[in-house]
Amino acid sequence: MARSIAEIKQTMTNAFMADGTVRERYGLSENDTFDDSFSVVSIENVLFYIVAACSHVLEVLFDQFKADVDDKISRAVVASVPWYYKIAKEFQYGDALIFNEATQQYGYEQVSEKKRVVKYVAVRDRGTSVEILASAEAGGQPAILSEDVLTAFKQYLNRVKIAGVILSVRSLPADSISITATIRIDPLVIDRTGTRIEDGSFVVENAVNAYLRNIIYGGTFNKTKLVDAIQNVEGVLDVELHACKYSTDGMTYNDINGNNYTAVSGSFSPVNLRNALVYVV
């Protein structure tokens, strides 16, 4: 950001007055200031003002040049995964797209956050295509887009995308996660039903729900992080994780082989935790 003429001049006069040779030639003491030592119409004051004014003009020109370059870069299309994520989040349900002749891109006449119904987006590069998962929001959690919204969203992406790129756009219910585990507890804090004695809350279940809820949309479930989340609960002494299974249709469950699982839908929903977690002393 360009400095004012006064700021630039102050920087120069401070350096001028701090120079020992200058003070000696002018007969100035270390406590003298420039404004007290030189009048407004003195040659020194006028010269400093002229140089400061010229420097200010240069800084303003550089700021404008930087702004012009940044604007040009921002209008350039780089068809990367982050770019597809950005344009997907910019979808406005109910608004028509307008083609901008200057930028050769589609956009909206006016930005409206209220119409941006797509709250969760995950973009995956599949090599020969780009997969985009999208969800609305309900109760602070991902929720599938209605058929009408999904149809409009697909049409929007087909217009703004790079020509020739194949998109696979889906909005799916959360993948169901089934977890069975044996949890050794401190009976002074948690009883055998998994209830915290102090307030009656199911703290382990809450920790599992919080872990799954906080996995970034399109992210990966990790068994180690799940165990860590449970062990961080006050009153939990040890965790023995048994089977972890997933289902994309809510009916057929498959074992999670290995330590990680990436949701087909982009998000996770736990099932039957109350009966699947066993508490022992």
pLDDT at 74: 67
Please report the DSSP string for 44-59 in residue order.
HHHHHHHHHHHHHHHH
Q: Which two tokens stand for residue 11?
A: 């920087």
Q: With a cut of 70, say whether residue 75 has pLDDT above it.
A: no
Q: What is the pLDDT of residues 128-163, one digit of tens each?
A: 899 999 999 998 889 999 999 999 999 999 999 888
Question: Judging by DSSP bridges, how do beta strands 130-138 and 236-247 pair with one another?
Answer: unpaired
Residues 196-224, mean pLDDT to the nearest whole number: 94
Longest dimension (CA), the chain: 93
pLDDT at 76: 60
Amino acid (1-letter code) at residue 61:
L
Neighbours of 69 (CB within 10 A): 10
Separation CA 209–CA 84 (nearest Å): 30
Classify 141 as helix, strand or coil: strand
Domain boundaries, the chain: 5-75, 81-170, 175-280
Chain-centroid distance of CA 172 in Å reads 22
Q: With a cut of 90, say whether residue 105 has pLDDT above it.
A: no
DSSP state of 126: -
Separation CA 218–CA 210 (nearest Å): 16
Amino acid (1-letter code) at residue 96:
A
Neighbours of 4 (CB within 10 A): 11
**pTM surpassing 0.85?**
no
Question: pLDDT band at residue 53, thresholds of 50, 70 and 90?
Answer: very high
Q: Find out whether 142 and 105 touch, Cβ atoms under 8 Å.
A: no
Question: pLDDT band at residue 6, thresholds of 50, 70 and 90?
Answer: very high
Q: Find out whether 244 and 255 touch, Cβ atoms under 8 Å.
A: yes
Q: Which two tokens stand for residue 100?
A: 């901008």
Neighbours of 255 (CB within 10 A): 11
Q: With a cut of 80, say whether residue 243 has pLDDT above it.
A: yes
Residue scoring higher pLDDT (78 or 184):
184
Question: pLDDT band at residue 234, thresholds of 50, 70 and 90?
Answer: very high
Separation CA 121–CA 18 (nearest Å): 58
Residues 214-234, mean pLDDT to the nearest whole number: 95
DSSP state of 115: G
